[in-house]
Amino acid sequence: MKKLYFNLHVVVSAILLLAFVACEKTVDDQITDEITIIQQRSVKTGQIDPCEVEQAYLQLFTKDNLDVGHVSIMNDGTNVYVTYFVDEGWFLKETNLFIGKKEDIPLKKKGEPDKKKFPYVDKFDIPLTSYEYVIPIKEGDDCYVVLACAKVNNCEDDTDCDNCDGKATKLTLRYDGDSGAQITVEQKKDQVVVFDDFVDSDGEFTFVGTDKGTLGTEITIKVNGVVNTKIHTSCSQPLYIGLVKGEFTLVDGYSKNGGQFCTGSMPPDDMDDCDDCEGKVTKLSMTYDGSEEALITVKQKKDGVVVFNEMVGSGEEFSFVGTDKGTLGTEIYLSVDGEENTAIHTSCSKPIYIGMSSGDFTITDGYSKNGGQLCTTYTEKSKTKHGHHHDDKKKEEEKCKDKTVWADGGMMFKEYFDTKKWGLLGEYCLEDCNLVIAFKAYMTSDWSITSGGPGNIDFLAYYEFKPDYVGNKIYYNTDHLNSNTDNPVGNITVSDSDGDGLWEVTVDNSDRPDLQFLGGSYLYVGPVEGYDTSFFSYPYIYQINTVRNSITFQLDF
């Protein structure tokens, strides 16, 4: 039997212990009426999750409660995927991960976890902004715990590097997509293609410019022929090692007059007319870096006030202002076509600057209440400007010390180790998920319906969802009270009829060729908990304007 894949839509903060539900089931090749077909869940983009299961996000905190990133946890029924992400300006130096049974966590004498003995420990010579573990699920492991720790710093310790100056000349990128793809890079000027080749997932590739030895003002990167992102190469916006744009990370680069790029954003020379964020952000301008036009919604955290809600094209710039006493408050949420894409802190408690990228957006201009126009990097300039004197050398030394971070900063870890010094121990369980199928459609003179399920609820009920199975029937309904099971209309067939890896449901009139489908046709496939006889809310609906002998629904998994 083939595997079924669904998408995970809901994201939650792991403040409390989380239950991470997954579906993992298999069956023999011979499927009988009595067997419940069991699903396996994954996270393939663009596909639907009929069981609506949550994906876990754990924040990464230092011991002094500084939020520097997060860890995501998901699974596809075969593997657990644990991915570390750090915020702009921070870099991973080491990761320590435990995943397994709670009683197997290695401990020191005083009872705290011994991260040096965790089963997954990696150190990085080149600072990274993200790192993923793919861990096979062991048979019989229904529940497991995840304990994530890392060393991070925000030290820019490059010696022979400089800011982008005089346009970028050469770039090396890493492709962060889920699977290999054909990557095409075009210069904006004359659409000259400077790279066009197949690149594996996590593969690196290099290209050089042809516009007088540079890449001109901008490049467009396509994945399998579809625009994925654009990168400004004119040096008008920060270019640095570690920059993430779309599904690509800049791992090396050079400019005409500045030489090799540095790690992290470096301050430009002319900072006189700008300042760090102070007193909350009041106005922002952004470009949308998505591949196609979309509805962009910007919402303030306080009271959920929407400050922008318009269609924006790929690469197009848009602006908005705050309504919370003239500011955007402490945080804003940006959504693309109704799906939350990213969140940006606007309280000035975290760096925010021109050129900063977050999700599918890049800040091109901005202002704060007390600092005026934002700079093209976060420089701590405002603190020295307003009379706060610092020992620069001591501050730089302190900045460059590695910091230990734990997932969720000890919110709940004390339940297990009686200490607030260590991170969250999340418990995640794999559970079965049974799907059912229900159908109703108007035929040339009355309704046809399914009538399986418990007790024939009203005049519409359901069967177990059984891929590669033919045998369940629909019946002609004559009194709108109880289905007439003595009057079958035809079969329900579930199969991958077109070989595209997705399931199709076909309903026919083989038992009553004198009746044909004409009018509304409604199909439900999902968990039994979500079943409702209110067929108008079913996820698959056809309005049939000409008579048909059969109907085929293309499912999304």
pLDDT in tens, 266-283: 443 344 467 788 889 999
pLDDT at 387 over 80: no
Which residues lie closer than 8 Å to 288 by C-beta, 6 or more apart?
A: 294, 296, 312, 313, 314, 315, 316, 318, 336, 360, 361
The answer to whether the CB of 273 falls within 8 A of the CB of 167 is no
Q: How confident is the model at residue 193 (pLDDT cuts 50, 70, 90)?
A: very high
Single-letter residue type at 495: S
CB atoms within 10 A of CB 133: 20
Instruction: At 283, give phi and psi (nearest 5°).
Output: -150, 140
User: For the chain, what percent of residues have pLDDT higher than 90?
Assistant: 23
pLDDT at 120: 93
Helix (H) or strand (E) holding 417: helix 414-417
Residue among 94, 54, 92 nearest 72 (CA): 54
Q: What share of the chain is helix, strand, coil (3-state, %, to 5)?
A: 5, 45, 50
Cβ neighbours of residue 555 under 8 Å, at least 6 residues apart?
502, 503, 504, 505, 525, 540
Lowest mean pLDDT among 86-95, 237-246, 456-465: 456-465
Task: Please give the angle made by the CA atoms of 223, 290 and 192, to the nearest 5 degrees.
Answer: 50
Pair type for strands 517-527 and 435-443: antiparallel
Q: What is the pLDDT of residue 196?
A: 95
Asked if residues 2 and 496 have their Cβ atoms less than 8 Å apart, the reply is yes
Q: What digits encode the pLDDT tens for the residues 405-452?
A: 887 644 334 433 433 444 445 566 665 567 889 999 999 988 888 887
- pLDDT of 492 reads 94
Higher pLDDT, 317 or 215: 215
Report the sign of the C-alpha dihedral through residues 402, 408, 414, 416, in that order: negative
3-class secondary-structure state, position 44: coil
pLDDT score recorded for residue 428: 63
Task: Tell me what pLDDT residue 423 has.
Answer: 43
Q: How far apart are CA 316 and CA 297, in angstroms?
A: 14
Of residues 23 and 129, the one with the higher pLDDT is: 129
Q: Tell me, what's the pLDDT at 170?
A: 92
pTM over 0.75: no
Q: Mind listing the domains of the chain with CATH numbers?
A: 10-155+404-429 (2.60.40), 168-260 (2.60.40), 281-388 (2.60.40), 435-554 (no CATH)
Can you tell me whether residue 149 is helix, strand or coil? strand
Q: pLDDT exceeding 70 applies to what percent of the chain?
A: 73
Residues 6+ apart with CB under 8 A from 229: 220, 221, 245, 246, 247, 248, 289, 291
Q: Please state, in angstroms and rounded to a whole number, the distance separating the CA atoms of residues 84 and 95.
A: 8
β-bridge mates for residue 542, sequence order? 521
